[in-house]
Amino acid sequence: MKPVALITGGSRGIGYGCAEHLARAGFDLAINGVRDEAQVGEPLAALRKLGADVAYCRGDIGSEASRAAILDGVRQKFGRLNVLVNNAGVAPKVRHDLLETTEESWDHVVDTNLKGPFFLTQAAARWLVEQKKADVKFHGCIITVSSISATVVSVNRGEYCVSKAGLSMVTGLFAARLGEFDLPVYEIRPGVIKTDMTSGVTSKYDKLIAEGLMVTRRWGFPDDVGRAAAALARGDFPYSTGQVIMVDGGMLIPRL
């Protein structure tokens, strides 16, 4: 019986990169997103061609009812869960200066980027513990995709930075809590990744990358993050719970 991974925001961008590599690693997949299933038929079909049994669990992770429905969908389809990949996230609709940030924007970003993953992780963790207690050989883990914005300040999207910084604490908290059950919890912290979210700043980062913003002078790609996620999900780093895996091309290495 193949292990099962639930990937939020898994039909495009970084989430799809993770889904692709987990499918190649032998996982069946529950893909979460907010779009209608008819709109994501192409990526779901591509994942199935890699040999994965794929279920689409539509829902907004910022909503309590949706989170419950997502996990219920995984239970009904597979009856098990081995890996949760918290990937879904949003940027502010408008990049306000920090002195102009609105509560509406704060709630929109933090509900999806922080509150949602926290409570989805809580619910998934309970299920993982339940399975571990029933079978000591059960292997599971939780992976959260955050951002270099967890520590790198952007004063025109403060709510986004706060949400990503919070995710780092969520990783540490659940790693500590689930240690007794040998269920590791990890954070992947991507740098500048070429996705829909960064499409509007392509020229800006093309220039910065050419000038040496990263040690590895290229854009990051969803494939880079997916490779890291697959290694963690396979259990390649069982003694590294609570750790941050940087996928930033060396961007944050202090240099003179």
- Please list the active-site residues: 160
Angle at 201 between CA 198 and CA 206, to 5 degrees: 105
C-alpha 16/C-alpha 247 separation (Å) is 16
C-alpha 230/C-alpha 225 separation (Å) is 9
